[in-house]
Amino acid sequence: MSKRNIVWAVVIIGIAFFVYLGINKESTSYEGIASGNGRIEAVEINVATKVAGRLDNVWVEEGQFVLTGDKLAKIDTTTLEAELHQTQAVFKQTQNAINTAKSQVNQRRAEKDAAQALLKQRESELDLAKKRLARVQSLSQQGSMSAQELDDAKAAVVSAESAVAAAKSQIASTEAAITTAISQREEAESAAQAAKATIERIQIQIDDSTLLSPRDGRVQYVVSRPGEVIGSGGRVVNMVDLSDVYMTFFLPTQTIGKISVGSEVRIVLDALPDYRIPANISFISDVAQFTPKTVETQEEREKLMFRVRASIDKKLLEQHLERVKTGLPGVAYVKLDGQDSWPIELQSELD
């Protein structure tokens, strides 16, 4: 083949290539539709410990799909369990102390009842002694009673008064004993409440030592491994919430005014070009910026653009959770305000 023919062949191939690019560009450009490149992303969740300790087990691997409540990892709880057993023993002691104090209160109250009954008896005896003294005094004045009998009657009154005073003193003593017993009971009850609160706190710490998945999602990274000692708040697993999946892309100023939050979107992934994934605009930045290097051409990167987020419907995600993959590149097509329907090429069978 002559050099001239080779040159013509190169020219024809070049023209064909540019024609192909033009056709391809036309095929992805639709009237009333804006588009931007992006990647599928999801909300990241760092699963961290609430208590410090040595990591005992990690039950998941990177890339594993997990459901809400699945066990991810566990901190060693040997020390906490020992503290729990010790506090449970203290709580049992306080319960015994409460029962003893209650018995003491009941006993002291019974003693008070007996003292009050004795007081009534002594008061009756005093009343009789006073009445007898009055009769003896009357008869003594008439000469019917001797001086000795009068003295005995007076002594009986004094003795009865002393007995009444002693009975009252005994009642006061039993009341003081009741107050002391009640105080001991309340002290034991307070100690029991403190021990119970400590048991609950330790049990919560033991429960928190088992890390559970907060969402349905996929494990991205296992940050810590068994045997490592990590502090409170230390990350163990990084995962993505597959119920909150979106694509972030950029649109120019002249386009951003023609869309709004809630506008319909179709996402076409490079890995799944035959599927149009329905989504809606969930965020539009109010600040223009230079687009990042992920935008395909340098010309586009030099323009001021607005960051836009298109979120995939949660119900649709729930139907295909295990198939959701983050990081996949693709194109987001946005229906501009006033556009009634999608072109046939962007109509989705997933609606």
Q: How confident is residue 317, by pLDDT bands cut at 50, 70 and 90?
A: confident
Q: How confident is residue 297, by pLDDT bands cut at 50, 70 and 90?
A: low
What does the domain layout of the chain look like in residue ranges? 31-51+228-346, 79-208
**Terminal Cα-to-Cα distance of the chain (whole angstroms):** 56
Fold of 31-51+228-346: Elongation Factor Tu (Ef-tu); domain 3 (2.40.30)
As a whole number, mean pLDDT of residues 330-338 equals 89
Neighbouring C-beta atoms of residue 193, cutoff 10 Å? 12
The radius of gyration of the chain from alpha carbons, rounded to an integer in Å, stands at: 46
Q: How many angstroms separate the CA atoms of 69 and 71, rounded?
A: 6
Higher pLDDT, 10 or 142: 142
Q: Name the average pLDDT for the chain.
A: 83
| Token code pair at residue 318 | 């729930």
Q: How far is CA 338 from the centre of its chain?
A: 45
Task: Tell me the pLDDT tens digit for each residue of 222-264.
Answer: 999 999 999 999 999 999 998 889 999 999 888 888 899 999 9
Task: Tell me the pLDDT tens digit for each residue of 23-36.
Answer: 343 335 688 899 99
Q: Coil, strand or helix: which one is 67?
A: coil
- Architecture of domain 79-208 in CATH? Orthogonal Bundle (1.10)
